[in-house]
Amino acid sequence: MSENPESIRQAVRERYTQVAESSVGCCGPESDTCACAQYDADELGLLPVEAVASGRGCGNPTAIAELRSGEVVLDLGSGGGLDVLLAARQVGPQGFVYGLDTTPAMIDLARRNAARAGVTNVEFRAGELEDIPLADQTVEVIISNCVVNLTPDKSRALHEAFRVLRPGGRLAISDIVIDPDLEGLPFRADAIRRSLDWAGCAAGALTSAELRRALDEAGFRDVRLDVEYRMTPEELPRQTSDLAAAVGGDGLRQVAGRFTSTSITARRPA
């Protein structure tokens, strides 16, 4: 697909509008490759089935964020509200959680899910990660689940995340990261990226070195990247057939293992 930023944003909105309207996603009843296995089943059991079904993440950011009672949290790309509702329970009634999403259908679904769950210490806002609709130094923690890689301008998105964090605040996100990179393979890296749909989470992924550099340039410190698992060919986006056509079956197996689900933590200096 085109790498025109607005084309990317539109493709992402269309994809996740379909998810919101179908309520079948990574954690839905038709999925057998579910990152939601990283969630505690008892936790998910406390949430509306619609919130669980709409999940499209690649990890569990609330598990790595170490949220504390009374904290103010922002979820970048909050979707149907799964991580927002989990975070709201962890920070308790003295805390607050903002959810930010670019897809109107997802925001509507998230608000309905919050109402179903009886959760009132949350607010869902429309906006882009590159232009977060919050004032400077508003939140103490930022979480995100496989969304930063969907943004056309990741550098600006990370600078915005830094801006809205309070001094000493922390970033705890799960995302697809290419580790170590796409070098040394018998085919071009740009051919691999072009064969993947950006909205499918892999085409826009940064390498581990690129991500570290972007976080550092945004001002973050104490950066840590922990690979949780490496993908199999079956776990790449549904455009895998295009990738297989570009690199062949053996090539697909070589490429897949370099796409990882990674936990990313960092801190804004106090």
Average pLDDT of every residue of the chain: 85
Is pLDDT above 80 for 50?
Answer: no
pLDDT in tens, 139-183: 999 999 999 998 989 999 999 999 999 999 999 999 999 999 988
**128-140 burial code (b ≥16 CB/10 A, e <16):** bbbebebeeebbb
| Greatest mean pLDDT range, 53-67, 187-201, 211-225, 242-256 | 211-225
pLDDT given at position 56: 64
123 CB-near residues (< 8 Å, 6+ apart): 96, 97, 98, 99
| Greatest mean pLDDT range, 24-33, 47-56, 124-133, 229-238 | 124-133
Is pLDDT above 60 for 43?
Answer: yes
- Reduced to 3 states (helix: H, G, I; strand: E, B; else coil), residue 256 is helix
Instruction: Output the six-digit token pair for 124.
Output: 């869902």
Tell me which DSSP letter residue 96 carries.
E
Give 187 or 142, the one with higher predicted confidence. Answer: 142
Is pLDDT above 70 for 239?
Answer: no
Domain ranges of the chain: 5-267
Tell me which DSSP letter residue 102 carries.
S
Three-state SS annotation for 169-229: EEEEEEEEEECCCCCCCCCCHHHHHHCCCHHHCCCCCEEHHHHHHHHHHHCCEEEEEEEEE
Lowest-confidence region among 16-30, 91-105, 179-193: 16-30
Name residue 125's beta-bridge partners.
100
Confidence at 21, pLDDT banded by 50, 70, 90: low
Fold of 5-267: Rossmann fold (3.40.50)
Q: Are strands 139-145 and 165-178 parallel, antiparallel or unpaired?
A: parallel
Confidence (pTM): 0.88
Instruction: Output the six-digit token pair for 239.
Output: 């455009």
Yes or no: say if 107 and 87 are a contact pair by the CB < 8 Å rule: no
